[in-house]
């Protein structure tokens, strides 16, 4: 007798297995591409290079990506989406007053595969991507609403935002390149303290 419940459970198990297999394949492809980008120019990397490095078939590659560019595009989009997701969680909280919760989430995300992100930051194409990350941070920090007494005060605030967003990105980059000691959590705590101290003048009530 056919058991619908057992068949339903079997289907769920099979779908989960296929999902895990797809995730594993995408991770292998992504890692292979980043490794190759450390060895040669991005424009010279072929699908053949990737499938050989990842030890997969062309069919597996095309099941997930249309071309080489689609791989790096997905890597960038995934990180940007996470950054925006984390920032949106604090939309009603002043990041300038306490950036630690946001930085803790970033550190936890990066810490899930430190070696992969260390390789990613080391590739030549990383500079363009880091510029995008900085732009998202600047936009979020500038959304901090506070009435200012003058145009000069507003301009000073914008300068602070640009300076600290650039510094934050640079510090994480230096950490992955081995130029800074401590853990990602230590880095997050240090960056948070520096930012709060630097933005202190803008946290005070406007003088009359």
Return the pLDDT at 207: 43
The whole-angstrom separation of Cα 56 and Cα 170 is 35
Structure tokens, 189: 């705590």
Q: Do the beta carbons of residue 138 and residue 165 sit within 8 Å? A: yes
Low-confidence ranges of the chain (pLDDT < 50): 206-208
Q: DSSP letter string over 6-49? A: HHHHHHHHHHHHHHHHHHHHHHHHHHHHHHHHTTS-GGG--HHH
Count of residues for the chain? 208
* Alpha-carbon distances of 43 from 72, 150, 152, rounded to whole Å: 12, 49, 45
pLDDT at 122: 85
For residue 136, give every residue at least 6 positions away whose Cβ sits within 8 Å of its Cβ, in sequence order, or none.
80, 83, 84, 87
> Which pLDDT score, from 0 to 100, does residue 128 have?
82
pLDDT at 59: 94
CATH superfamily of 1-65: Homeodomain-like (1.10.10.60)
Q: Give the pLDDT score at 56.
A: 93
Q: What is the pLDDT of residue 179?
A: 93
């Amino acid at each position: 007798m056919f058991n619908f419940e057992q068949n339903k459970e079997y289907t769920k198990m099979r779908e989960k297995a296929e999902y895990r297999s797809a995730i594993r394949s995408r991770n292998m492809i992504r890692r292979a591409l980043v490794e190759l980008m450390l060895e040669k120019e991005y424009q010279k990397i072929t699908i053949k290079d990737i499938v050989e490095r990842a030890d997969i078939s062309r069919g597996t590659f095309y099941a997930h990506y249309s071309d080489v560019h689609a791989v790096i595009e997905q890597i960038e989009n995934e990180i940007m989406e996470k950054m925006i997701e984390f920032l949106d969680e604090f939309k009603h909280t002043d990041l300038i007053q306490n950036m630690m919760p946001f930085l803790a989430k970033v550190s936890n995300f990066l810490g899930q595969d430190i070696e992969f992100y260390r390789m990613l930051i080391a590739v030549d194409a990383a500079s363009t991507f880091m510029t995008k990350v900085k732009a998202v941070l600047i936009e979020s920090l500038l959304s901090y609403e506070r009435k200012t007494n003058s145009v000069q005060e507003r301009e000073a605030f914008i300068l602070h935002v640009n300076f600290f967003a650039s510094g934050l990105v640079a510090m994480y980059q230096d950490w992955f390149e081995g130029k800074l000691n401590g853990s990602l959590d230590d880095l997050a705590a240090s960056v948070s303290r520096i930012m709060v101290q630097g933005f202190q003048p803008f946290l005070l009530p406007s003088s009359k």
